[in-house]
Structures are given as C-alpha cells and as structure tokens.
Structure 1
Amino acid sequence: MNPYQETSLMTPLSPDFRSPDFLRTHLRETMAFYDRTATDPSGGMYQFFLDDGTVNDARTRHLVSATRYVVTHAMLLRTIGDERYCTGMLHALQFLRTAFLDPATGGYAWLIDWHDGQARVLDDTRHCYGMAFVMLAYARAFEAGVPEAREWLSEAFDTAERHFWQPAAGLYADEASPDWQLTAYRGQNANMHACEAMISAHRATGERRYIERAEQLAQGICQRQAALSDRASAPAAEGWVWEHFNADWSVDWDYNRHDRTNIFRPWGYQVGHQTEWAKLLLQLDALLPADWHLPCAKRLFNDSMDKGWDVEHGGIYYGMAPDGSICDDGKYHWVQAESLAASAVLAVRTGDARYWHWYDRIWAYCWAHFVDHEHGAWFRILHRDNRNTTRQKSNAGKVDYHNMGACWDVLGAVGTV
C-alpha cells in the first residue's frame, strides 16, 4: 500500500511532531496526569486510573507498573531536569525494593495488595517479563544518577540467568513458581523486553555482557523462532514474530486462542510487536552492528504498515491471525506509540522520507484520537472506529510508559535527549 494514497490526518492545529520542543513538552504534559494524584505517601504509586484521573483501585499494585514508574520518572529527570522527577523516581525505586523484592530468593512478586503501609502478596509467580522490567528500571535509574542501581541491575541479571536462561535455546524461559520451578510456557514477549533491558543496561554501564545478550535474544526471536513459524503459517505472515511457544520452543498456535486480548499474552501476531522489534533492532545495531538488523527492521515495519494500517478509520490494528486476516481490530495505545518510535528510528537511520511520512501520520492519528486533550495522558484502548468505551485510562502495566517512551526514543534518535 502506498501511504500517500490516503487523505492525510494532519490538520492546521497539529503541532510539529518532529520538534524536540514538542516531544519534551508532551512528555511533561503526559506525566502531569500522574503528578496530580499518583503518589501514595504510604508507599509507591497508584496504578489504576479512570480517564478523568480518578484513582479507582488504591490497593492493587502490579510489578510491571511499579517498574515502569521508575523508568518514566528517570526519562523525565534526564529530559526535563526537574527535581520532582528525581523524587518520584526514588519513591518508586524504594517501593520496588521493599514491597516486591524477596531478598531470600531474588524474585519479585507479580501482584500485591498494598494497605496501611503493608504488602500482601496476591501472586508470587516469577515472570521473566517482570524481571526484564526490573532490569530496565535499574538500568535507567543508574543512568539517571542512582549509583546503587548498578549493583541491583547486576543482581537481577544474575537471577534471571540462574533461573530463566536456557543456553540450548539462547532464550529465556517465561514463568516459574516462587521456588523457581519452570512452567512449560515459552514466549517471545519476555525475551523482547529482556532485549530492551539489555540495550539500556549496556548504555548505562558499558558492560559488554548486556549487549551480547541483547544480540543473542534478537537473533533467537527474530531469526530462528520467526523462521519456525514461517514454515507452518500462511505467506501473509512471512518473517513475522509469533508470540507463543512450547517448552521445546516449537510453535504453539493455540495458546490463548480464545483470549486474544490478554494484555501480556494475546493470541495472534501482534502488529505492535513487529514494529517494536524493528525499533529495538536498530537501537541494538547502533551499539553492536550486524548486517541482518536493518533489513529485518525494514521488513517488519513495512509489512506491519502494509497489513496493519486501517485505511478507513486510521490507526494500526492490534492482532493478525496466521492467515493474514485481522483477528483483533481494536486500537491499542502502545501499538501506535511503538510504531511511531520505530518509524522515526528508521527515518534517521535510512534517510528515507517515507518513514517520516509514517511518523507524521501515526502521530496525527494519535493526536486526534489517543491524546486526551482535556484530562491528559493517552487513552488506553479504542474501538476500530476510534470510540473510547473502557474509561480505564491506566490499568496493570500502562502508566503511559509506551507513549512517553516513544517520545524518549525519538529524542534519542535525533540526538537531543
């Protein structure tokens, strides 16, 4: 599909989405939604908000949101420099270390109930996905000026290596019991975010083990595992990254087939994960070049826009079935955010103007439909026709990490962080 064939979504009211000043302002304005009410004086930060900013669950705390609060505050601290972001980052870090970490095992609880300054573990399953964000949080905190975070990062990495790493596969297993007995499920999502964490860990510390592990993860998912799904799926998804695998890393086509909107393990090819990998491959390439990174990144992004862009209503679909049909036509905030970040990284790397066109188009769509210009932050999920009916702006894991991270990634791509 030629992206120029569709009427542009740009309007005279649209800002210059490529401007570093716009990106910094949008970062600050998005965080302002959380600045108003997110901090819980008794510990940590609230995670569940309605569209107007009302906290609608003051007690449930999820590991993913807890770590992402560290990341978002660290990004704002380094980008804007306001001391309140340092305060927020340290507050989030302390909560991660005291409420979620089990010092005896090195594991982190997945879900807790926080009440009257006390944590009650609701789910102590060990998830590699969660550990990836623990490592990312520590890497970003160290980069933002917390010296102890380097050792915490190293400890988390060693824990993941000891319990999740599978040398024969060159990938991490996904899930374990509190005493570290692995379940049979294997997934690409945890490995993708582990790759993200390793890239940030190398940037922060300069330690080569992190970037070498990032390359190993990228090869394992984007080359070997993608090739496995190629052999059994329709040509429409050639080279795409499937989500779910069995214990022997064979493709599991049926996992969550009837629960396609599971927020951490949805069924189908996730269009946003193809573009997110495109972004990560080029960030990896800037630190450890390899001939396969750029061609793979271009193919994943180009195919995603060709198959995943909704020509009628705008925006990028959520899920695609193995036969190439759209299995979930909802619009998710993170899919749009990761895709606009990938388009900017590709534009800078290749000099190809069509990627800037996609960047402007995706941003214009988000500006028109996802950015809440009344209350702040981004809406979470929209229907295909861009109606918002959930009214839940932030749930487990959101806290606007993806869209703030996209601004951060674009600023990094153009060299203005």
Structure 2
Amino acid sequence: MTAPLPDFRSPTFLRQHLRDTMAFYDPVATDPSGGLYHFFLDDGTVYDTRTRHLVSATRFVVTHAMLYRTTGEARYQAGMRHALQFVRDAFLDPATGGYAWLIDWHDGRATVLDATRHCYGMAFVMLAYARAFEAGVPEARAWLAEAFDTAERHFWQPSQGLYADESSPDWALTGYRGQNANMHACEAMISAFRATGEQRYIERAEQLAQGICQRQAALSDRASASAAEGWVWEHYQADWSVDWEYNRHDRTNIFRPWGYQVGHQTEWAKLLLQLDALAPADWHLPCARFLFDDALAKGWDAVHGGIVYGMAPDGSVCDDGKYHWVQAESMAAAAVLAVRTGEPRYWDWYDRIWNYCWEHFVDHEHGAWFRILDGANRNHTREKSNAGKVDYHNMGAVYDVLLAIG
C-alpha cells in the first residue's frame, strides 16, 4: 500500500522537511579544524575532505541561518557561526577584499587553488552576511557593507546598471558578462534590505531586476529566439550584447551552461515578487507571471514529469536532465505566485512539482535531495552534493514558501 502524500502546504511539514534535510549533513559535515566538508555521496560519505568551494562555504552559512530562524535551536546558530568564521578565515584576502573561488584545506591551513574573483561568489558572500546578521551575528552587518563596497568598486558598471562577472585576483575584469551573478546579487540585496533596512540595497535590487528582466530580456526577440521571446538569456559580451555561442558545446559547466535555463526564469519570477513585497512596482507581477507561465508551459516534461534543464532559442530541449534546483525554485515561485495572486492554478503547480520531487528527488532512505536525474528520472551518479549544492536551493525554497504563507 502506497503511503499517503504529505500536505505540502502545511507549515508543520515544511519546517520538518528543513530539519530532515539538514539532518543529512548534521552528523558528518562539520570539520573541527575549520568549516564544513563540501563533497558527499548519496549515503552521506564524505568523498573529498580537502577541497572547499566558496559557493558551498557561503551556502552552509545560509542553510544554518534558515534553520536557526525557523527552529530557534542553538545548534543551528553554532553551525552558522562555524561556517561563517571559515569564510572569513579561509577565503577572504583582507588585503584586497576579494574571496578565493577554490581552496585546499589541510592541517588547518588554506592553499588557494583558484584565486579568480567571481561576482557570483561575492553575491553569496553578501547573502551569507545578510542572513547571519538576521540570525544574531551583529558584526556581520559591517562585513556585509564591506563586501557590498568591494563589489561596487570592482564589478559594478554604472553605464550598464549591472555587475561584471569575473576578474583576476588583482581585479582586472575579463570580457564575460552573465545574468546569473546579477540574479544572485539581486537575491542578496533583497536579503540585505530585509536584514538591515538600508535603502541602498533594495534600490540596487530593483536596478538589477530591471537590467536583466526588462532590458536584457528584450534582446531575446522573435527574430533571435522564436520560442523564448522575453526570456532571460545567460551569456553576454563585455558590452552586454548577447553571446549566443558561449559554452554551446560544453554541457559540463554547472555555473555557465548554454541555453535558456528554465529554472532561472522561475527563479526570477520568485525574486520579482519578493522584491515587490518590499518595493512595489507595476511591472513586477506581470513579468513574474509571464516568466513562470511560459517556463512551465515549455519546460514541463509531460511524459516523465519534472522540469527540464535547458531550452534552445528555437524551443527545442537542449538538455532534458532534471536538476534539483530547477524543481525547487519553480516550486517556491509557484507558492509565491499563489499567495500574491490568489489563483488556485499556482497552488496546482506547487502541488504537482512537490509530488514529482517527493517521488523522484527526495532521498527517503538517506536524506536530502538527489542532485541530478536524467530525462527519465534515473540517477546516474552517487554524488549527492558536489561543489555548490549543500541542498541550499531546496532548503531555501522551503524557507521561501514558509515566508510567503506567513
């Protein structure tokens, strides 16, 4: 007999799912010598004790802060502080204000493996500080301000109203521009404003949202993207003209894949409505509706269920894999839209996505979510968490739903 499905809209279920997900990491993740381990197999085995990635390091701060804010349990605040201290001790270069992208941690010492400065990484540094300040670390407010000032000084491009993406360790910019760093910077700015009330953060969030979801999205016109008109493309040249070929033949780049990311359309929908709750603007809701509705209409797999990863400008699926974060962000966006509009169809989407994730992504044996499945929902890797995952997206989505339903 099949067990009945949980009530996915229940705050009690959502809070418990946060605990259950973190429990996968709780017993094994903490490294007493500093920070947390970043690489886990499906059963929780740590398969790399030394490599540490800036995105994982900062996301552990965020996930622990969410658990502390949700439960009030001191162990989560302690975990957050442990993760936060490691970001500052192991990744921050005090001389430049920059953060290493990748390090080797051994015998309590960090060796930098990749010192490239990524705005994407800086966005998560700011998000970590904002969430830490909100969760009872008063000094994190000044650290947030310092990181914001560093990003403004080295990545911000006033003429474009967006952040550049990447630089050398001494802040020489490369020519690549990307929407993803700006999207997560927008997320960080929303959290920074929630935590501090400082107007500059929400003003920057609005500017980023307009730059990507209005100006850059308009470059996906009918002539160049017949099936994705008005969608957000990922990759741009230094002048913010579209780079249609970037990584076209490389499906392995987890941070810069080719094609329209279906999950980024829905993630922007969520962010636009979170922004609208703090600084309303007439364009937020129509844009959020369009991005979500069109993404689900074209990205939902009617045969196997779930939302596909990548779509080409002509509407063909260029990557039919199912990624955990795409489902999670879309589920959160559906809930935020349901609350904002009162339309039952968004709750229907929320339930449909959760049903799919409960069947295919939630690991009911070992805990947490599987990372990636193929188009037919088969798991081909034993890696539950590699660089960047740490279940930040799915835990964050549950947290966002809790915030949305009050």
Please give the TM-score of this superposition, normalised by the length of structure 2. 0.99
Alignment partner of 1:357 is 2:348 = yes
Alignment partner of 1:128 is 2:119 = yes
Counterparts of 1:234-383 in structure 2 under 5 Å?
A: 234-383=225-374
For the residues of structure 2 that align with 1:259 and 1:412, how far apart are their CA atoms?
A: 37
In the TM superposition, what is the alpha-carbon distance from 1:385 to its structure 2 partner?
0.6
Give the counterpart letter for 1:391 in structure 2.
R
Question: Structure 2 residue aligned with 1:406, among 368, 386, 397?
Answer: 397
Give the counterpart letter for 2:86 in structure 1.
F
For the residues of structure 1 that align with 2:176 and 2:143, how far apart are their CA atoms?
A: 27
Task: Report the equivalent of 1:143.
Answer: 134
Q: C-alpha offsets along residues 140-177 of structure 1, whole Å, 9 cap, x if unaligned?
A: 00000100000000000000000000000000000000
Give the counterpart letter for 1:79 in structure 2.
T
Question: Structure 2 residue aligned with 1:58, among 43, 49, 68?
Answer: 49
Distance 1:261 1:278, change over 3 A: farther
Distance 1:230 1:260, change over 3 A: farther
Task: Report the equivalent of 2:22.
Answer: 31
For the residues of structure 1 that align with 2:224 and 2:48, how far apart are their CA atoms?
A: 41
Q: C-alpha offsets along residues 1-33 of structure 1, whole Å, 9 cap, x if unaligned?
A: xxxxxxxxxx75210000000000000000000
**Is the Cα contact below 8 Å between 1:261 and 1:267 reproduced in 2?**
no
Task: Report the equivalent of 1:189.
Answer: 180
Question: Structure 2 residue aligned with 1:395, among 377, 381, 386?
Answer: 386
Task: Report the equivalent of 1:17.
Answer: 8
Alignment partner of 1:49 is 2:9 = no
In the TM superposition, what is the alpha-carbon distance from 1:81 to its structure 2 partner?
1.1
Task: Report the equivalent of 1:233.
Answer: 224
Task: Report the equivalent of 1:107.
Answer: 98
For the residues of structure 2 that align with 1:48 and 1:132, how far apart are their CA atoms?
A: 22
Please give the TM-score of this superposition, normalised by the length of structure 1. 0.96
Alignment partner of 1:384 is 2:375 = yes
Give the counterpart letter for 1:43 in structure 2.
G
**Is the Cα contact below 8 Å between 1:44 and 1:66 reproduced in 2?**
yes
Task: Report the equivalent of 2:169.
Answer: 178
The DSSP-based 3-state class of the residue aligned with 1:398 is coil
In the TM superposition, what is the alpha-carbon distance from 1:36 to its structure 2 partner?
1.1
For the residues of structure 1 that align with 2:224 and 2:290, how far apart are their CA atoms?
A: 17
Task: Note the residue ranges of structure 1 that are not aligned, 5 or more in a row.
Answer: 1-10
Give the counterpart letter for 2:312 in structure 1.
A
In the TM superposition, what is the alpha-carbon distance from 1:261 to its structure 2 partner?
4.0
In the TM superposition, what is the alpha-carbon distance from 1:232 to its structure 2 partner?
4.5
Task: Report the equivalent of 2:215.
Answer: 224
Number of aligned residue pairs:
405
Alignment partner of 1:169 is 2:169 = no
Q: C-alpha offsets along residues 299-331 of structure 1, whole Å, 9 cap, x if unaligned?
A: 000001100000000000000001110000000
Aligned Cα RMSD in Å?
0.8
In the TM superposition, what is the alpha-carbon distance from 1:231 to its structure 2 partner?
5.5
The DSSP-based 3-state class of the residue aligned with 2:397 is helix
The DSSP-based 3-state class of the residue aligned with 1:298 is helix
